Structure formats: C-alpha cells, structure tokens
C-alpha cells in the first residue's frame, strides 16, 4: 500500500502549473468511441484514472497511445459492446461509454458501477434519458444491457442536473436522428469542454454552458484534435491549501472563471486573491474567518472541493457550517480529520466545524480522491508527521502531486507501507 508522509507545518509558497482536467479527459476518451477515426487529445494528465479509461477503450476495441501529454485514440476498427466488471469497478466513470456505444453500435453491455466511498451512485437518470431516445435496457447478473435501432432525438427534462447523465444523454444525442433538447442539464465546465470537442468533430450542439442543451443529430463524426481545459478541482485544491497553510501561491495555466465561487469563499475567509489571464495568486497571512458553505451543481460550490475546504475551516476562528447537497456520504473522512485534532460534528448533511488553532499530525486513511487530497492538506497544516494511507486514491486524480507540493516548499514523500 502507498502512503504519503508529510512533515508539517509548512507554508506553501511559489507557482504551481495546473494540469488538464481529469473529469474532462475521461469523458472525452469515452466520446472518442463515437469517432470512426483518430482523436488526438492534448494536455492529458498522467493519472491512474486515465490509464484505467485507456484500458476500458482498448477492451472495447479502440487503440490508445500515449505520447507525453498527448493521447491518440483510434476507434475506426470494429468495436465490441461490453465493458466488464473488473474494469468498471475500478473506475465509476466507465459508465460514460454507455451513450457512445449505443449511439455507435446500437448495443452496449456495461457492468453496473455500484456505490463508492462518497455514496450510493445510481444511474437511473442516465437510463431514463437514453430510454426516452429509444434504447431498451435489461439489468441482469450485475450488468446493464441496452439495445436500440438508431436513437431518436427527444426532449428530456433531468430531475437533477447530473453531470454523468447529461454527458451520456448528450453523447447519444449527437448521433441520434433529429433534435434533442436536454433541460435542467448540468453546466459544469467539463461538459462545456466535451461539447467543444464534439462540435469540433462535427456535432451540432447548442446552448452549451446553459441549463438547456440542444443537439441536432448528425450521421457521423470525424477525426478531431482537442486540448483539454485546466483542472478546476486540482487548481481549487492548491488554492485552498495555500490559504490553509497561510501561504502565497500562484496557480499558472488555470481558468479563473471556472473557480469563481471557491475564490470568493477564500476571500470571505480572509485571503487576498488576484485574478489574471490564466493565473490566480492566493495569499493569506492569518487564521481564516469562519464561513458557511453549501455545495451545489456548477456554478455553485463544487462538492469535490468540500473536503479541502473542511480542512481550511477546521482551523478558523470560531464555528462554520458546511452543507453537502450532492453526495450523501461525503463526510466519511471527517473522523480521520478529527484524529488530527479537528472538532467536526456531522448531523445529516450538515457538518458543524469548530475551528482549532493547530491540527496535529497523525496516521490517517484516504477514503477517496478528494478526501485523500484534503487529508494531505491537513498534514501540511498540522504539527509533526502525518501519514496518509491508501494514497493510491489520490494518484487517481492529481498529477505529480508530490512534485508539485515539493515545488511549493512542502516536505512530502510517497512511500510503500
Ligand atoms: C461527476 C464527477 C465528480 C463530481 C460530480 C458532481 C466525474 C468522473 N466525476 O460525478 O467528481 O463530484 O460529478 O459534480 O466527472 N444521481 C442519481 N441518479 C443518476 C445520476 C446521479 O441519483 O442517474 C445522483 C448521484 O447519486 C449524486 C448526484 O446525482 O448524488 C450527482 O451525481 P452526478 O452529477 O451524476 O455525478 P457524477 O457524474 O457521478
């Protein structure tokens, strides 16, 4: 098992270059299955989830080659329709191949992803949307199997602006017959990135970045190249870490407009934030002020930045309330943080955080990507040695985490336990 070992406290200082967005890359890779030709993705982060998605695509019949930060995907050969359990279980985002396979082959058999450490994660909204377009699903032996003739464009109202459901339905709609309208669609920047790529490959998607997406189906997509947007969650993690450690960090190659609410909240906490073209400087010279925070779909505060924000508020002067509205079990790591001296009480989907002056280093366990990164931020703030076990989770989503943090002055290493 891998473990991050951190010696704190540290004040983070310097510049950090932001990688391409994990959550865009995974969906763009799935979308490449709809292109009977070569897709070239630039600025692809070197993280485990990308390797896992590459394995899923290879299993489905595509070729995937990595050349430094580029990924070349060729789905022009014969594809197969089955994404097996041993791959889907390692990464939930594999479910995003469902829409592309149905659109391209009229047949998809994908293992049901099941829940994970942040909660039960059903796919009912995905399936309902695809059914309305003409797909018929059966679920047996842990697999969901869909069959269809050419999908038909329809109007769909999502009961919740699910990111994954919006993406699956919109990818299917791209090759459907006629016009589809997706209402109450998710507006996350990663969806905008996906739409930009698809339009570049010949799709006709309008209303991008709004809650109403319209898709005029086309018969076929063509080869395309696309450079992936910066990872707003990675950027937000470093920005929050800078404030939590009372440091001075400049995020380089990021997109400040994707981070507006997190940056506003950091300002509310007392940080000085300077926004520039593709860069943001975040400075803090005292303990944070308390604040209340609610996670919501974009442009609300992202649920993926809730865990590091919890670490920041655990050192505020006074009490804060953090409300989690997107994933039911996202407070599971609170017990780990309390082991580091935090005072956090969870009541349903609210966490009451009583700030302490100093966290103290301790061995803790990373339950998932974002909570794991947050525990590392906790370790940077804490006095003494922190060991974050199950570090493999963090490597799923953060490129060169140790190098980037070391570059900012952290004492951190990745070891085997
Ligand atoms: C994506 C992101 C994840 C982020 C989340 C919310 C990827 C790979 N992951 O996950 O990092 O935290 O968006 O911004 O991009 N739901 C249903 N039925 C469905 C689909 C979703 O009830 O069919 C519920 C989920 O259980 C959850 C909520 O809707 O409570 C949000 O899920 P969703 O927006 O779909 O997140 P993901 O696409 O899984």
Residues 130-175 have pLDDT tens digits of: 999 999 999 999 899 999 999 999 999 999 999 999 999 999 999 9
- Compute the CA torsion angle 202, 204, 208, 211 (nearest 10 deg): -140
* pLDDT of 113: 80
Q: Whose CA is nearest to atom 4 of ligand 1?
A: 304
Residue 323: CB atoms within 10 A of its CB come to: 15
- Report, as an integer, the average pLDDT of 48-73: 96
Atom of ligand 1 nearest to the CA of 327: 30
CATH code of domain 2-19+230-416: 3.65.10.10
Atom of ligand 1 nearest to the CA of 123: 23
* pLDDT of 175: 98
Rounded to a whole number of angstroms, the distance between the first and last alpha carbons of the chain is: 5
- Let me know: does 98 contact 146? Beta carbons within 8 Å: yes
Q: How far apart are CA 128 and CA 137, in angstroms?
A: 10
Which of 47, 164, 182, 398 has the most ligand 1 atoms within 8 A of CB, as the residue to mutate?
164
Q: How far is the CA of 122 from the centre of ligand 1 (A)?
A: 9
Q: How far is the CA of 184 from the centre of ligand 1 (A)?
A: 14
Q: How far is CA 42 from CA 57, 132, 287, 380, 386, in A?
A: 17, 34, 39, 32, 35
Mean pLDDT score across all residues of the chain: 96
* pLDDT of 122: 87
Q: How far apart are CA 291 and CA 397, in angstroms?
A: 27
Q: How far apart are CA 175 and CA 220, in angstroms?
A: 7
- Report, as an integer, the average pLDDT of 236-252: 98
Q: Is 197 helix (H, G, I), strand (E, B) or coil?
A: helix
- Let me know: does 145 contact 137? Beta carbons within 8 Å: yes
Report DSSP state, residue 121.
-
Q: Whose CA is nearest to atom 5 of ligand 1?
A: 163
Q: Which residues, at least 6 apart from 39, have a Cβ–Cβ distance to it below 8 Å?
A: 28, 31, 32, 72, 73, 74, 75, 201, 223, 224, 225, 226
Q: How far is the CA of 17 from the centre of ligand 1 (A)?
A: 27
Q: What is the pLDDT of residues 68-87, one digit of tens each?
A: 899 999 999 999 999 988 98
Task: Select from 117, 19, 37 the least CA-distant residue to 75.
Answer: 37
Q: Whose CA is nearest to atom 11 of ligand 1?
A: 304
Q: Whose CA is nearest to atom 32 of ligand 1?
A: 162
Which of 117, 167, 298, 326 has the most ligand 1 atoms within 8 A of CB, as the residue to mutate?
326
Which of 50, 126, 160 has the most ligand 1 atoms within 8 A of CB, as the residue to mutate?
160
**CATH of 22-227 given 1.10.10.350, 3.40.50.2300, 3.65.10.10, 3.40.30.10:** 3.65.10.10
- Report, as an integer, the average pLDDT of 23-27: 98
Q: How far apart are CA 101 and CA 224, in angstroms?
A: 19
Q: List, chain by chain if needed, residues with CB within 6 Å of any ligand 1 atom.
A: 23, 26, 93, 121-126, 160, 162-165, 303-304, 326-327
- Report, as an integer, the average pLDDT of 346-354: 96
Q: Does residue 66 surpass a pLDDT of 70?
A: yes
- Let me know: does 31 contact 1? Beta carbons within 8 Å: no
Instruction: Provide the residue ranges of all domains of the chain, joining segments of one domain with +.
Output: 2-19+230-416, 22-227
Q: Whose CA is nearest to atom 13 of ligand 1?
A: 163
Q: How far apart are CA 393 and CA 373, in angstroms?
A: 9
* pLDDT of 117: 66
Q: How far is the CA of 166 from the centre of ligand 1 (A)?
A: 10
Q: Whose CA is nearest to atom 20 of ligand 1?
A: 123
Q: What angle do helix axes 232-244 and 22-31 make, rounded to 10 degrees?
A: 170
Q: Whose CA is nearest to atom 7 of ligand 1?
A: 23
Exposed/middle/buried for residue 26 (C-beta within 10 Å: 0-12, 13-18, 19+): buried
Category of 413 on φ-ψ map: left (φ > 0), alpha (ψ -120 to 50) or beta: beta
Atom of ligand 1 nearest to the CA of 298: 14
Q: How far is the CA of 286 from the centre of ligand 1 (A)?
A: 35
- Let me know: does 243 contact 407? Beta carbons within 8 Å: no
Q: Which residues, at least 6 apart from 361, have a Cβ–Cβ distance to it below 8 Å?
A: 6, 7, 8, 340, 379, 382, 383, 384, 385, 386
Q: How far is the CA of 164 from the centre of ligand 1 (A)?
A: 6
* pLDDT of 3: 97
pLDDT band, very low/low/confident/very high, at 121 (cuts 50, 70, 90): confident
pTM: 0.97
The 3-state secondary structure of 53-73 reads HHHHHHHCCCEEEEECCEEEE
Q: How far is the CA of 52 from the centre of ligand 1 (A)?
A: 19
Atom of ligand 1 nearest to the CA of 119: 26
Atom of ligand 1 nearest to the CA of 124: 23
Q: How far is the CA of 282 from the centre of ligand 1 (A)?
A: 29
Q: How far apart are CA 353 and CA 321, in angstroms?
A: 6
- Report, as an integer, the average pLDDT of 320-331: 92
Residues taking part in catalysis: 116
Residue 286: CB atoms within 10 A of its CB come to: 10
Q: How far apart are CA 73 and CA 62, in angstroms?
A: 7
Q: How far is CA 1 from CA 30, 200, 237, 394, in A?
A: 30, 42, 24, 12
- Let me know: does 162 contact 186? Beta carbons within 8 Å: yes
């Amino acid at each position: 098992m891998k473990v991050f070992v951190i010696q704190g406290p540290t004040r983070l200082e310097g510049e950090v270059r932001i990688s391409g967005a994990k959550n865009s890359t995974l969906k763009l890779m799935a979308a490449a299955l709809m292109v009977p030709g070569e897709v070239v993705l630039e600025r692809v982060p070197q993280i485990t989830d990308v390797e896992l998605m590459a394995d899923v695509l290879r299993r489905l019949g595509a070729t995937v080659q990595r050349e430094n930060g580029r990924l070349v995907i060729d789905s022009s050969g014969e594809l197969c329709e089955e994404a097996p359990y041993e791959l889907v279980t390692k990464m939930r985002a594999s479910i995003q191949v469902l829409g592309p396979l149905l659109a391209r082959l009229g047949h998809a058999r994908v293992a049901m992803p099941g829940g994970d450490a942040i909660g039960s994660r059903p796919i009912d909204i995905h399936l309902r949307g695809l059914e309305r377009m003409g797909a018929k699903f059966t679920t047996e032996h842990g697999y969901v199997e869909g069959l269809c003739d050419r999908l038909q464009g329809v109007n769909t109202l999502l009961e919740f602006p699910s990111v994954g459901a919006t993406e699956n339905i919109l990818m299917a709609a791209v090759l459907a017959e006629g016009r589809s309208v997706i209402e109450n669609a998710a507006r996350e920047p990663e969806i905008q990135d996906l739409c930009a790529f698809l339009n570049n490959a010949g799709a006709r998607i309008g209303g991008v970045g709004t809650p109403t997406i319209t898709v005029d189906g086309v018969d076929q997509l063509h080869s395309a190249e696309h450079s992936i947007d910066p990872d707003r969650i990675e950027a937000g993690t470093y920005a929050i870490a800078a404030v939590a450690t009372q440091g001075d960090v400049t995020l380089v190659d990021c997109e400040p407009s994707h981070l507006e609410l997190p940056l506003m909240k950091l300002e509310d906490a007392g940080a000085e934030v300077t926004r520039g073209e593709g860069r943001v400087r975040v400075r803090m010279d005292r303990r944070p002020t308390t604040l209340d925070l609610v996670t919501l779909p974009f442009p609300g505060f992202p649920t993926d930045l809730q865990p590091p924000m919890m670490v920041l508020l655990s050192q505020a002067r006074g009490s804060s309330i953090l409300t989690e509205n997107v994933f039911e079990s996202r407070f599971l790591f609170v017990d780990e943080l309390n082991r580091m001296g935090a005072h956090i009480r969870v009541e349903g989907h609210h966490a009451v955080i009583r700030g302490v002056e100093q966290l103290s280093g301790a061995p803790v366990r990373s339950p998932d990507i974002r909570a794991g990164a947050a525990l590392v931020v906790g370790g940077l703030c804490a006095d003494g040695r922190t060991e974050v076990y199950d570090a493999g989770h963090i490597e799923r989503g953060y490129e060169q985490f140790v190098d980037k943090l070391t570059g900012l002055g952290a004492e951190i290493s990745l070891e085997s336990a």
